[in-house]
Amino acid sequence: MAVDLEPKRLTQPNRPQSPQILVIGYGNTLRSDDGVGYRIAETVSSWRLQGIEGWPCQQLTPELAAAIAPVQQVIFVDAAIATSTTVPLVTCKRLQPDSDSTFTTHTAIPAALLGLTQWLYEVAPIAHQLAIPAVNFDLGETLSPIAQVGQTQALEQLKGLCQNVSFFERSCS
Amino acid sequence: MSKTIVIDPVTRIEGHAKISVFLNEAGAVDQAQFHVVEYRGFEKFCEGRPFTEMAGITARICGICPVSHLICSAKTGDKILGVNIPIAADKLRRLMNLAQITQSHALSFFHLSSPDLLLGWDSDPAKRNIFGLIAADPDLARAGIRLRQFGQRIIEILGGRKIHAAWTVPGGVRSPLDETGRRWIIERLPESFNTIHQALDIFKRLITGPMQEEVKVFGEFPSLFMSLVSPEGEWEHYGGHLRFTDSEGNVVADGLSEDHYSDFLGEAVEDWSYLKFPYYKARGYPDGIYRVGPLARLNTCDRIGTTAGDQELQAFRDYAGGIPTSSFLYHYARLIEILACLEKIQALMDDPDLSSTRVRAEAGVNVLNGIGVSEAPRGTLFHHYQVDDDGLIKKVNLIIATGHNNLAMNKTITQIAQHYIHGEDIPEGFLNRVEAGIRCYDPCLSCSTHAIGQMPLHIRLVKPDGTLAHEIYRH
């Protein structure tokens, strides 16, 4: 079946009450450090601050595109395997929409979700990814000391974002 | 020279797995094995926890189908309490499970399988994904997203959140459906009906057109089928009893209770997979192969019990000329089930019981051994808890849908490999077909860790002496 590579555009979802900043933290809270992103998004949600919303979820799924499309900025928070023996730091990088990645459920990456948002709604917000250092992915509900440090750092960065978007931008560069 | 082809891991399924294809000396496929390479160990993890926490814990096994575990765990908890839950709670749990089946099937069809079905096996792998589908049919892609949203939103309305909603509890549920939620569901139903009718039309064109071969090759074999059916023999997803039928439509066993599952289900173990191999005991292993899930549910029931659902069920059976036995038709069955779920959701919207505030039976621990059963989107799910006098878990056994289908999945990939592999040429299209054969079952294997990183496709050709003949990575 031939594929029309020039997609027909779709209408952006109308969400008048959407936050300016959406923090999507994802991972499995039964798998120790894997759940650190989920916990961070839960904490952000508990702040109940105007303009910023925490969205904890176990996986990135396609319908998140509809939640992402109306916001100004989205921050994905996930665990990342620590690669250094020294105490690793939270890393932050700017994301661009990617329409070449295979979009699945367990293997979805934020850039692919942004790409999906771009294709569906002709818009993709400014996006960053916070990677929290993690070392333990065994069954368990507690964070390793390294992940706990990362969690604290990440929350400080996100608090900074609430106060000053440009500060957060500089810290991610 | 015999060789082994290893596809590791399989993409676009829930969890991690790999596939080995064993070639004989003549270069023909002898056997294929579907390995589950990750040990879950959730059962051991649960020991010592209060049984009342089990719903919340097991729901976190999977982010795609948490409601299935919530409901099955709550039903097991009902047994430990020794209570009959209020009728409103029964109906509210049913509503949530119908929403769960809808959203899960929508994800499976529109996002995981449609790229293969609509773009073709030999299309550019880089484009044969959801983006390729959007390029080909953006309206369908968006409709699929909204259909999944519909199911997710109902779960959120009832449970207060999309995943891990601790709303279903032993003894009932925490709250009824409010009027705002009911109105939202009613408002969105017509669009959802429209989407599923479109999808059904598309799929029917595929299986009477370009996908006729897949119907014959993707797991077309006789087997038993198992699922819940209602006391009247209708399609069931929550209550009723268990029934086994065969490929001719004969009822092999009926009126079976989950309380005695170990009397009729055996669990074999193979040293090359962490996933057990359940079988129907009366037929032995491996002759007791059976399938569960959408195809099985449509094959075991006498009728669905809804107007459009029963019309589509008849068309389904007419198309197959009897009992459909191809696993490729799991996709078709999934669409019919979405339609049936929407009809049943619609019927529940007029039921005043859903707004009743009597939604929970209170009791302490009265029974020390409880077994619950429900139909998850992928098939029959059993939870078995043994507790002490304080309600602390002493032992847990979970039999998940993917486990029931383990023998059938292995048989399916063997059939596909035997059909498409001739000699040492392994075209891209073949790999896609083997993976797609597995995806017919929409398996959920581990639902576990999810750190940053992509899952590559790793194919290894191994000589009989263990040395590597060829290795391919697909990122």
pLDDT of residue A102: 54
Cα diameter, chain B: 70
CB atoms within 10 A of CB B364: 10
pLDDT of residue A166: 56
Between B307-320 and B330-348, two packed helices, what is the crossing angle to 10 degrees? 170
The answer to whether the Cβ–Cβ distance between A31 and B15 falls below 8 Å is no
Would you say residue B449 has pLDDT above 60?
no
How high does pLDDT run on average in chain B?
85
pLDDT of residue B164: 55
The answer to whether the Cβ–Cβ distance between B45 and A139 falls below 8 Å is yes
Give B3's pLDDT tier (boundaries 50, 70, 90): low
Percent of chain B topping pLDDT 90: 59
Among B4-13, B177-186, B207-216, the least confident range: B4-13
**Mean pLDDT of the region B139-149:** 86
**Strand A73-81 versus strand B18-23 pairing type:** unpaired
pLDDT of residue B131: 66
Angle at CA B309, nearest 5°, toward B296 and B209? 75
> CA–CA separation, B78 vs B363, rounded Å?
9
pLDDT of residue B474: 45
The answer to whether the Cβ–Cβ distance between A103 and B111 falls below 8 Å is yes
Q: What is the pTM of this model?
A: 0.85
Residue of A nearest to B209 (CA): A1
The answer to whether the Cβ–Cβ distance between B135 and A134 falls below 8 Å is no
Q: Which two tokens stand for residue B77?
A: 């908890």
pLDDT of residue A65: 86
Would you say residue B4 has pLDDT above 70?
no
Q: Which two tokens stand for residue B114?
A: 């449609």
Residue of B nearest to A1 (CA): B119
Would you say residue B455 has pLDDT above 80?
no
Compare B67 and B299 and report the one with higher pLDDT.
B299
**Polymer length in residues for chain B:** 475
Would you say residue B170 has pLDDT above 50?
yes
> CA–CA separation, B121 vs B118, rounded Å?
9
Residue of A nearest to B153 (CA): A63
pLDDT of residue A171: 61
Question: DSSP labels for B164-226?
Answer: S-TTEETTEES----HHHHHHHHHHHHHHHHHHHHHHHHHHHHHTTTTHHHHHHSSB---EEE
The number of CA neighbours under 13 Å toward the Cβ of B464 is 6
DSSP reduced 3-state for B413: helix
pLDDT of residue A19: 73
Would you say residue B468 has pLDDT above 70?
no
Q: Nearest to residue B321, comparing CAs of B415, B220, B224?
A: B220
CB nearest to A57's CB, from B11, B63, B447: B63
The answer to whether the Cβ–Cβ distance between B145 and A66 falls below 8 Å is yes
pLDDT of residue A8: 35
- Span between the terminal Cα atoms of chain B, in Å: 29
Contacts of B286 (CB under 8 A, 6+ apart): B268, B277, B279, B407
Q: Answer for the pair B189, B346: CB distance below 8 angstroms, yes or no.
A: yes
Give B401's pLDDT tier (boundaries 50, 70, 90): confident
Question: DSSP labels for B219-263?
Answer: SB---EEEEEE-TTSBB-SSSSEEEEE-TTS-EEEEEE-GGGHHH
Would you say residue B220 has pLDDT above 90?
yes
pLDDT of residue B466: 54
Shortest Cα distance, chain A CAs vs residue B159, angstroms: 15
Residues 53-72 (A) with a CB less than 8 A from some CB of B:
57-59, 61-63, 65-66
Would you say residue B467 has pLDDT above 70?
no
Shortest Cα distance, chain B CAs vs residue A29, angstroms: 7
CB atoms within 10 A of CB B367: 13
Highest mean pLDDT among B134-138, B252-256, B437-441, B444-448: B252-256
**Mean pLDDT of the region B102-126:** 79
pLDDT tens-digit map of B34-47: 776 555 677 888 99
pLDDT of residue B443: 74
Compare B40 and B391 and report the one with higher pLDDT.
B391
pLDDT of residue B140: 83
Q: Nearest to residue B315, comparing CAs of B227, B398, B207?
A: B207
The answer to whether the Cβ–Cβ distance between B132 and A63 falls below 8 Å is no
Chain A hits for B134, CB-CB cut-off 8 Å, are 7, 116, 119-120
- Region for residue A136 given its phi and psi (left: phi exceeds 0; alpha: psi -120 to 50; beta: otherwise): beta
Compare B473 and B21 and report the one with higher pLDDT.
B21
Q: Is the dihedral of CA A49, A50, A52, A54 positive or negative?
A: positive
CB pairs under 8 A between A and B: 148
pLDDT of residue B28: 79
- Region for residue B352 given its phi and psi (left: phi exceeds 0; alpha: psi -120 to 50; beta: otherwise): alpha
pLDDT of residue B36: 67
Q: Which two tokens stand for residue A93?
A: 């990088």
**Polymer length in residues for chain A:** 173
Residues 140-169 (A) with a CB less than 8 A from some CB of B:
none
pLDDT tens-digit map of B318-349: 999 999 999 999 999 999 999 999 999 999 99
Angle at CA B178, nearest 5°, toward B174 and B180? 145
Shortest Cα distance, chain A CAs vs residue B153, angstroms: 11
Chosen from A77, A106, A130 to mutate, greatest number of chain B CBs within 10 A: A106
Q: Answer for the pair B110, B410: CB distance below 8 angstroms, yes or no.
A: no
Which burial class, exposed, middle or buried, applies to B295 when counting CB atoms under 10 A from its CB (0-12, 13-18, 19+)? buried
Residues 76-115 (A) with a CB less than 8 A from some CB of B:
78-81, 99-107, 109, 115
Among A14-18, B177-181, B413-417, the least confident range: A14-18
pLDDT of residue A18: 63
> CA–CA separation, B188 vs B138, rounded Å?
20
Q: pLDDT truncated to tens, each residue of chain A (173 aa)?
A: 332 323 333 444 444 466 789 999 998 888 889 899 999 999 999 998 888 899 998 888 877 888 899 999 999 999 988 865 656 689 888 999 886 655 544 456 888 889 888 888 888 899 999 999 988 888 889 999 999 999 999 999 898 877 766 556 666 65
Amino acid at B19: I
Compare B60 and B186 and report the one with higher pLDDT.
B186
DSSP reduced 3-state for B396: strand
> CA–CA separation, B440 vs B108, rounded Å?
9
Compare B210 and B72 and report the one with higher pLDDT.
B72
pLDDT of residue A10: 40
Percent of chain B topping pLDDT 70: 82
**Mean pLDDT of the region B426-453:** 64
**Chain B contact for A21, CB < 8 A?**
no
> CA–CA separation, B409 vs A99, rounded Å?
31
Give B282's pLDDT tier (boundaries 50, 70, 90): very high
Compare B392 and B19 and report the one with higher pLDDT.
B392
